[in-house]
Structure 1
């Protein structure tokens, strides 16, 4: 299907792939910065955002959609920045098109993703619902963060409970959650139940890679991300203390600085 996409800037193309839940605009923390020097391409994946479908689909359909999008945009070589699910798709693109993928930036992702998330209680869901609504109406209010946010499931997604982080949650996370379809959720969990694991294939990927992780990530652990970095032929790994799965919204300046530094050391970009 034809994906809805946000294209910004000029220069070497960077395909920016969101996670689950997510949409292209969820990647604004990256695209607003990188589009000053590169061309950023941030699609809504099938079943997310404005790329809705009435048919069931599999995770492999995302790759077909992305190939079609890149052909439509006349993109031959490109770098992929993928967050969570987006990082898994980035690895798949690199494995199937090594001559086109010039580099990888993997954010909170892994080739064998595993987590250690505690069981979710009804109180967790209650506080998360209240927190999400209140924070969406009044983003980043400290009284809300202290009263609801730190008691909700946000406590596993972030460790830095600051107004700035909660503004990102209101502006990007809530709209993405509301625009993530049940079909997208079913496609993802079907793949998870099948035991996704591409670790043994990673040595095939020869392009330079930057692997970033939050030390307290409970959704895709830092150990899983490190395993991926260790198996990639040309990878650099950063693990940020006191952050979790949404660490780009916790410490955006540090993450962007590390990405800038890595890109400057890659002359092909």
Structure 2
């Protein structure tokens, strides 16, 4: 998981953006909590053929913003980012919250979005997460700290992680998954602002639902889901896929919300195959 990022920002008001590669632009949007670096599993691979732009969304990572804002402000920021880098057309990949923003971009700027890769997300997101206990929080804190200090330590995985909230985020407790959690999830969590959390939960409480608008999206789409995802269920991802006109659907058995870190090679292979079947989405 080598870090080949080039950090690029042009002014104090712009989002912090990690840029890799050359060629047709791919805009990669992270989830909550997250940052542009959280998408390295995708950008390290896709930047071999395209130019990837992975911003820290407002209130995340290095894009510091402590005042209250709403979800629509993310779209304003992203349109400004496209203008800043003179991106006329791009493929948009979004994971979780990033997938919701990807669909919103396709609805608001259809002439600029050539295709969508939607990862663990839904236009009417539904979860099946059990109630969180004090022990869940305690074990998660211990597991995260120990894994940050000593990634993929098997004793920690067996003793704490499998009894923590990690058991709902991943199903395959592999060294690779825990390396990603240590290197990308924990730092992103620590740099997620309360304002970003408030903006997301306000949208959820308002009953976010864009299913009926998805028929307006004409570009090719690929929807990927983990079959044991408790944060955004596979059923809600499938429902989204069924409302998109030009869509392929793929789910991964025995995986959860962080499935790209559980089965990265399988996910990347499926994205590659889709790109080969729809070369127009990357300008080919």
Q: Contact (CA 8 Å) 1:142, 1:162: kept in 2 or not?
A: no
User: How is 1:58-69 mapped onto 2 (pairs within 5 angstroms)?
Assistant: 58-69=70-81
Q: Contact (CA 8 Å) 2:66, 2:194: kept in 1 or not?
A: no
How far the C-alpha of 1:21 sits from its partner, in A, is 0.1
Distance between the aligned counterparts of 1:133 and 1:153, measured in 2?
13
**3-state DSSP of counterpart to 1:62:** helix
Q: Contact (CA 8 Å) 2:32, 2:97: kept in 1 or not?
A: yes
Structure 1 equivalent of residue 203 of structure 2: 191
| 1:129-169 Cα distance to aligned partner (Å, 9 max, x none) | 00000000000011110011100000000000111111111
Q: Verify: 1:210 aligned to 2:225, yes or no.
A: no
| 1:58-110 Cα distance to aligned partner (Å, 9 max, x none) | 00000000000110000000010000000000000000011110000000000
| 1:207-236 Cα distance to aligned partner (Å, 9 max, x none) | 000000000000000000000000000000
Give the TM-score normalised by structure 2.
0.94
User: How is 1:242-253 mapped onto 2 (pairs within 5 angstroms)?
Assistant: 242-253=254-265
CA RMSD of aligned residues (A): 0.5
**Runs of 4+ in structure 1 displaced over 3 angstroms?**
none
Structure 1 equivalent of residue 153 of structure 2: 141
Distance between the aligned counterparts of 1:8 and 1:63, measured in 2?
22
Question: Which stretch shifts more, 51-60 or 214-223?
Answer: 51-60
Q: Verify: 1:110 aligned to 2:140, yes or no.
A: no
Q: Verify: 1:265 aligned to 2:277, yes or no.
A: yes
Unaligned runs of 5+ in 1: none
**3-state DSSP of counterpart to 1:261:** helix
Distance between the aligned counterparts of 1:168 and 1:116, measured in 2?
24
How far the C-alpha of 1:267 sits from its partner, in A, is 2.1
Distance between the aligned counterparts of 2:239 and 2:66, measured in 1?
37
User: How is 1:167-246 mapped onto 2 (pairs within 5 angstroms)?
Assistant: 167-246=179-258
Aligned counterpart in structure 1 of residue 137 of structure 2, from 120, 125, 140: 125
Q: Contact (CA 8 Å) 1:140, 1:162: kept in 2 or not?
A: yes
Q: Verify: 1:90 aligned to 2:102, yes or no.
A: yes
How far the C-alpha of 1:53 sits from its partner, in A, is 1.2
